[in-house]
Amino acid sequence: MSISTQLHSVRHAIAESCHAAGRDPASVVLLAVSKTFGADAVIEAADAGQVAFGENYLQEAVNKLAEVHKLRPDLSLEWHFIGPIQSNKTRPIAENFSWVHAVDREKIAQRLSEQRPEHLPPLNICLQVNVSGEDSKSGVSPEELPALAQAVARLPNIHLRGLMAIPEPETDPARQRAPFALLRELQKNLAEMGIPTDTLSMGMSGDMPAAIAEGATMVRIGTAVFGKRDYAN
């Protein structure tokens, strides 16, 4: 199937999940996760109306952005960095992206703020929360989230937009909802502390309906849009 056809069916699935949850389909942004796919795939999706793209690997992303821009300077796309962040590699992220989804340390946010070029609007940030309780996983713990959010909200060149989570894989749709519900609760708690945010970045190809049922405002979809990834390249 073509990328355009797959995009249409993902948009349709998002709308259906919204209707089932009594939500407006316009309240959910589709982030097309293009990691491992080339500039040609991004351009094909963009020509089918897709605007927001997510990337995980910094060097791959920076090369791809440049290539897309060279091939199609007419396209105005919104790039989101959704991968893990190394503290010595924040500058290219601050310079090339509109959003960063996986911030889980104050030091990273500070560097992104310092390195954000002055001619660009503030960098939109989501704090990644560890909602599955595994020690090995990245993300700030729910207990440490309020202090981190308070610190990040004060940074000058950062706009704290909300929370992001990657729960442990779970195939049972009924059980997929609990970690998403927790993220929604945590966002509500922050708002009550005086830190209002508008974004819940949660839901991927395998758990999108559950995430939308629990209030996702941005779903990060790779496989269902571009097909299966081949990490050999």
Q: Which is nearer to ligand PLP, 98 or 205 (CB)?
A: 205
Alpha-helix residue ranges (DSSP H) falling in the chain: 3-20, 39-47, 58-71, 90-96, 106-115, 145-153, 173-192, 208-213, 223-226
Least distance in angstroms from the C-beta of 132 to ligand PLP: 14
Least distance in angstroms from the C-beta of 102 to ligand PLP: 7
Q: Which is nearer to ligand PLP, 132 or 189 (CB)?
A: 132
- Mind spelling out the 3-state secondary structure of 69-123? HHHCCCCCCEEEECCCCCHHHHHHHHHHCCEEEEECCHHHHHHHHHHCCCCCCCE
Q: Which is nearer to ligand PLP, 41 or 82 (CB)?
A: 82
Q: Are 39 and 60 in contact (CB under 8 A)?
A: no
Least distance in angstroms from the C-beta of 60 to ligand PLP: 12
Identity at 186, one-letter amino acid code: L
| Residue among 50, 78, 64, 149 at smallest CA distance from 109 | 149
Least distance in angstroms from the C-beta of 33 to ligand PLP: 4
Where on the chain is the footprint of ligand PLP (CB under 6 A)? 33, 35, 56, 82, 166, 204-206, 220-224
Least distance in angstroms from the C-beta of 220 to ligand PLP: 4
Q: CA-to-CA distance for 193 and 101, rounded, in angstroms?
A: 22
Residue nearest to ligand PLP (CB): 222
Q: Which is nearer to ligand PLP, 154 or 229 (CB)?
A: 229
Q: Which is nearer to ligand PLP, 149 or 204 (CB)?
A: 204
Q: Which is nearer to ligand PLP, 102 or 117 (CB)?
A: 102
Q: CA-to-CA distance for 28 and 18, rounded, in angstroms?
A: 8
Least distance in angstroms from the C-beta of 74 to ligand PLP: 27
| Residue among 100, 148, 147, 92 at smallest CA distance from 122 | 100
